[in-house]
Amino acid sequence: MRASSLLMMVAVAAVAHAQADLDLAQAPASPAYVLLGVEPASVERPGDPTDLAFSLLTATEGLSVLPRHYALSVAPYWLLGAGERVTFAEWRREADLWTTLAQTLDISVATASPEDEDLTSLGAGLRFSLRRGTVPQSAALADLEAAQRAAAADAGAQLAALEGADSLLVALEQILLAPGLAPAAREPIERAIAARREALVASLVPLPHDRLQELASRVDLRRRGWKLDLAGGVTGDFPGRKVETGRFGRAGAWFTGGYDGPKWSSLGVVRWLTTADESSLDAGARVVFVGSSRFAASAEGLGRWRPGADTWRGCLIVDYTVAPNRTLSFTFGRDFSGRPTGNLLAAVQLLLGFGAARGT
Partner 1 sequence: MAVTQSIFYPIGQNDAAVVRLRIVVGQAQKGATSVHRGGTLLVSTNDDVVTLDLGTGAEVRGEKFYCATVVTDVNPQTNLTSVSWELAGGERVFAKACTETLDHDGDSVLYVAVITCL
Q: d(Cα 329, Cα 335) in Å, to the nearest integer?
A: 17
89 binds partner 1 (CB under 8 A): yes
DSSP summary character for residue 134: B
Backbone angles phi, psi at 167, to 5 degrees: -65, -35
Count of CB atoms within 10 A of residue 256's CB?
21
User: Which of 88, 116, 244, 262 lies at the binding interface for partner 1 (CB under 8 A)?
Assistant: 88
Query: How far is it, in rounded angstroms, from Cα 20 to Cα 331?
Result: 13
CA separation for the pair 21, 2 (Å, rounded)? 29
Name the minimum Å distance from CB 150 to partner 1.
Answer: 8
To the nearest whole angstrom, how small is the minimum distance from the Cβ of residue 207 to partner 1? 5
Extended beta strands in the chain, E state: 70-74, 106-112, 119-131, 225-239, 247-260, 264-275, 279-290, 295-305, 311-323, 326-334, 344-352
Binding mask 129-148 for partner 1 (x = CB under 8 A): ------------x--xx--x
User: Interaction with partner 1 in 20-39: which residues (CB under 8 A)?
Assistant: none
Of 34-42, 81-89, 280-288, 342-350, the segment contacting partner 1 by CB under 8 A is 81-89
Note whether 122 and 111 are within 8 A (CB). yes
102 contacts partner 1 (rule: CB under 8 A):
no
> Nearest distance from residue 80's CB to partner 1, in Å?
11
- How far is Cα 224 from Cα 105, in angstroms, rounded to an integer? 19
Tell me, residue by residue from 170 to 209, as one string, x for binding to partner 1 by CB under 8 A and - for no binding.
Answer: ---x--xx--------x---x--xx--xx--xx-x--x-x
Residue number with CB closer to partner 1 (293 or 360): 360
Distance CA 178, CA 269 (A): 70
Decide if residue 96 touches partner 1 (CB under 8 A). no
Q: Are strands 279-290 and 225-239 parallel, antiparallel or unpaired?
A: unpaired
Segment contacting partner 1 by CB under 8 A, of 20-28, 217-225, 268-276, 336-344 = 217-225
328 binds partner 1 (CB under 8 A): no
Q: In the complex, which residues of this chain contact partner 1 (CB under 8 A)?
A: 45, 47-48, 75, 77-79, 81, 83-92, 103-104, 106, 141, 144-145, 148-149, 151-153, 155-157, 159-161, 163-164, 173, 176-177, 186, 190, 193-194, 197-198, 201-202, 204, 207, 209, 212-213, 216-217, 219, 221, 358, 360
